[in-house]
Amino acid sequence: MKSPIPDYLQSVVENVRSNDGGAPASYIDVLAKADTSKLAVALAMVDGHIYSAGDDKIEFSIQSISKAFVYAIAIEDAGLPAVLKKIGMEPSGDAFNHLSLQKGTNRPFNPMINAGAIAAHSLVVAPDATLEQRTERILDALSRLAGRQLQVDEKVFEAEMKDANRNMGIGYMLKAAGIISCDPAVAVRGYIRQCAITVNVKDLALMASVLCNGGVHPVSGEKLMPPESARQVLSVMATCGMYDGAGEWLATVGFSAKSGVAGAIMGALPGQVGIAAFSPKLDEHGNSVRGVDICRKLSADMGLHLM
């Protein structure tokens, strides 16, 4: 029997197309010049079925969505207790690139803001690892999750490196606070490289579905992370994944999610489905305007709200 899901997803895409609000990220040329008409959605069920509609072959940089997976890798490489010693798990209430640490512990608030993400990156492989070792480890892990070899977009990487002062500032703040022990410039360069890895919506939905499936890849059956890591990542995504918009997001959409500045949103409903939406124009929180619309509609139509 033909599945009705692809036709449904096509109707979701058409339903949100008229929302022309927001603007693409403007801090680097490559993102500012993105084709804002692009729009795509994908669902990856935990039984291995993948459905998509719209511009589902368009690749974009993963950006902040990488933070969720690099957190899982840091937990695997350093162990959860060591990670929790260096990175908190509370929403910060500040912008993603804010220079702030928790009073008392000196830890970044959570791994979804840049400070926490750079700290997590520094724990990948080992504190004294090289940039190349960490990049290879992350690219390999993300490729396994996506089920295909992913690449770094060198144009995005170079552009971000030209204007990395704020992230470098965060790196040196982390070093001064004793949160990272490696050269801050190496950690920041590596973090920026991980953000420049390119994916499409099907990749992202599949990557999310591994989190929803207790760390087991729904297609290959490969065990890619322990269930405890998947749960930890999904929990932090639920409270911190959508930045300042996280509270409203959880109340209205109701599933764990992480957004990236290129215009993607990755969602995850444990035990059921990995979700990805893409469209470059962003709202005031830095979340894709049409991506949020898509997730709202999917949640309402398919009853995806956790509560």
Touching ligand DON, residues 2-61 (CB under 6 A)? none
CA dist 91 and 101 (Å) reads 12
The candidate with the shortest Cα–Cα distance to 228, out of 65, 49, 84, 43, is 84
Shortest separation between residue 145's beta carbon and ligand DON, angstroms? 18
Does residue 182 come out as left (phi exceeding 0), alpha (psi in the -120 to 50 range) or beta?
Answer: beta
CB 166, CB 152: distance < 8 Å: no
C-beta of 210 vs 246, nearer to ligand DON: 246
Report the alpha-carbon distance of residue 85 to residue 79 in Å, rounded. Answer: 10
One of 92, 114, 209, 256 touching ligand DON (CB under 6 A): 114
Distance of CA 55 to the CA centre of its chain: 19
Q: Residues 9, 39, 63, 188: which binds ligand DON (CB under 6 A)? A: 63
CA–CA dist 273, 211 (Å, integer): 9
CA–centroid distance for 143 within its chain? 14
* Shorter beta-carbon distance to ligand DON: residue 51 or 71: 71
CB of 4 to ligand DON, least distance (A): 33
CB 138, min distance to ligand DON, A: 14
Question: What's the rounded Cα separation, in Å, for the pair 99 and 167?
Answer: 9
Strands (E), 58-213: 60-61, 198-199
Q: Residue type at 20?
A: D
Is there binding between residue 260 and ligand DON (CB under 6 A)? yes
Closest separation in Å from C-beta 194 to ligand DON? 9
- Cβ distance to ligand DON smaller for residue 46 or 123: 123
Q: Sheet harboring 264-269: ordered strands across?
A: 50-54, 40-45, 273-278, 264-269, 256-259
- Residue number, 91 or 260, with CB nearest to ligand DON: 260
Question: Among candidates 40, 44, 180, which has minimal Cα distance to 121?
Answer: 180
Q: Binding of ligand DON at residue 96 (CB under 6 A)?
A: yes
Residue from 16, 60, 64, 107 binding ligand DON (CB under 6 A): 64
Q: Is 254 in the site for ligand DON (CB under 6 A)?
A: no
* Ramachandran area for residue 139 (φ above 0: left; ψ -120 to 50: alpha; else beta): alpha
Contact string (CB under 6 A) for ligand DON, positions 160-199, x = contact = x------x------------------------x--x----
Among 190, 245, 254, 286, binds ligand DON (CB under 6 A): 286
Distances (CA, A) of 21 to 246, 278, 300: 20, 14, 21
Report the residue from 34, 173, 261, 289 that binds ligand DON according to the rule CB under 6 A: 261
Which one of the spans 134-142, 219-227, 259-267, 292-300 is the region binding ligand DON (CB under 6 A)? Answer: 259-267
Q: How many CB atoms lie within 10 A of CB 109?
A: 22
**113, 240 Cβ separation under 8 angstroms:** yes
Rounded to the nearest whole angstrom, what is the least distance from the CB of residue 281 to ligand DON in the complex?
13
In the complex, the smallest distance separating the C-beta of residue 288 from ligand DON, rounded to whole angstroms, is: 9
Binding status of residue 229 toward ligand DON by CB under 6 A:
no
Q: How far is the CB of 214 from ligand DON (least distance, A)?
A: 27
**Tokens describing residue 267:** 């969602």
Minimum CB separation from ligand DON for residue 302, in Å? 25
Positions touching ligand DON (CB under 6 A) are 63-64, 96-97, 114, 160, 167, 192, 195, 259-261, 286
